[in-house]
Structure 1
Amino acid sequence: MLELKNVSKSFNGKMIINKLNLKIEDGKILTIVGPSGAGKTTLLRCISGLEKIDSGQFLLDGQQFDPFESRDNESVIGVVFQDFQLFPNLSVIDNITLAPINVLNQSETQAKKAVGEIIDRLGLEEIINQYPYQLSGGQKQRVAIARALAMNPSILCYDEPTSALDPELRNEVSKLILDLKENGITQVVITHDIEFANKIADQTLTVKPVK
């Protein structure tokens, strides 16, 4: 379980997150909804260690944990970015195995073997040698998820995973997220799509701009 206690974050003197308390149960899906400027993405960046909080603390399974400082964070909390952030000069398989090779010090053979199940689960077998420019938005989304899963994270975070997708692909992403839940993966999803949030959420946090 990941727990946030009295977490606060500000930018240039403006309070974005103010003494937030939150518990995310293992294997559950938390959706974070709210208007633009309410701090959804800031909260996600703090949880994933991309931003350092000003005050408060994180607890992971009851032990104090700092996502920003942890050297092992990439194997604890994975992130699927809104714009996917795939490397355009790398094939799908190389995008997926890059972090395990460079961060986990796996050999290329080890990394490819380790991600085989993920590739099968996400239906990427036919495109593993293609490059990002050859992929549809839905395919890029699945590759981005596979890349995050390749680090075997305890928690997987998404920033607006359906923002660039049509309704059919939104349904595909919701099914994928629910399938990952069946595999015991804890997930945190930032979204402006209330219908999508209601379809996948075990709990929902609604954030509002701090006054």
Structure 2
Amino acid sequence: MLELKQVSKRYGRKTILNDFNLTVNQGEILAIVGPSGAGKTTLLRCISGLERIDSGEIQLDGKPFDPYINRDNDSVTGVVFQDFQLFPNLNVLENITLAPMLALKKDKDAARKQALDLLKRLGLDGKEQLYPYQLSGGQKQRVALARALAMQPRILCYDEPTSALDPDLRQEVEKMILGLKADGMTQLVVTHDLDFAKQIADNIKRVEAL
């Protein structure tokens, strides 16, 4: 279980998150819904350790947890970013295996086997030698998801997973998220799309811009 207690985050004089509280239970999907500027992406960056909170506390299974300094953070949270952030100079297989080899110290063969298994599971078998520019938007998203899953996170976070996707791809993302839930994955989905949130989430938390 992940808990945020009275978490605040500021950039200069602008407050983005103010005494923010949140609970994500093991195995559930929590959707955070709100307009642009409501701090949704900042929240994900704090949870994933890309930003440090200014005050408050983050707890994991009832114990204090600081994702900003935690050396094992890669095995706690994974993030599928809105712009995917794939390395353009690496092919699909290399994009997925790089972090497990560097951060988790997996040997090349084990990382490759895991990556190929993930690609097959996500309907991307045969795409491992392609480069990001050769992929569609939906394929890039699935590669980004495979890369996040390769780090074996306990909690998987998504930043606007349906942004700019057509209805068919939106449905595809919905199936992926629900499929991972069936496997027991805890997921946190940040979105402005309330209808999508209602389709996938066990609980919805609405936020507004400060």
TM-score, normalised relative to structure 1:
0.97
How far apart are the structure 1 equivalents of 2:206 and 2:44?
Answer: 13
Which of structure 1's runs of 4+ aligned residues deviate more than 2 A? Answer: 114-117
Identity %: 64
Looking at structure 1, the residues matched to 22 and 86 of structure 2 have their Cα atoms a distance apart, in angstroms, of 31
Q: Which string of whole-angstrom CA distances, capped at 9 and with x for unpartnered residues, describes residues 99-121 of structure 1?
A: 01111111211111233332221
Alpha-carbon distance between aligned partners in 2 of 1:66 and 1:82, rounded to the nearest angstrom = 24
| Count of residues paired in the alignment | 210
Unmatched 5+ stretches in structure 2: none
Match of residue 186 from structure 1: 186
Q: Distance in 2 between matches of 1:108 and 1:31?
A: 35
**2:128 partner amino acid:** I
Equivalent position amino acid for 2:97 in 1: T
For 1:184, give the aligned amino acid. Answer: G
Q: How does 1:86-105 map to 2 (within 5 A)?
A: 86-105=86-105
Letter in 2 for 1:27: G
2:49 paired with 1:38: no
**Separation (CA, whole Å) in 1 of partners of 2:139 and 2:46:** 27
Letter in 2 for 1:54: D
> How far, CA to CA, are the matches of 2:138 and 2:5 in structure 1?
36
Alpha carbons 1:9, 1:17 under 8 Å: kept: yes
Cα distance in 2 for partners of 1:180, 1:72 equals: 22
Q: Which residue of 1 aligns with 2:172?
A: 172
Amino acid corresponding to residue 116 of structure 2 in structure 1: G
TM-score by length of 2: 0.97
Structure 1 residue 48: Cα displacement: 1.1
Gaps of 5+ in 1: none
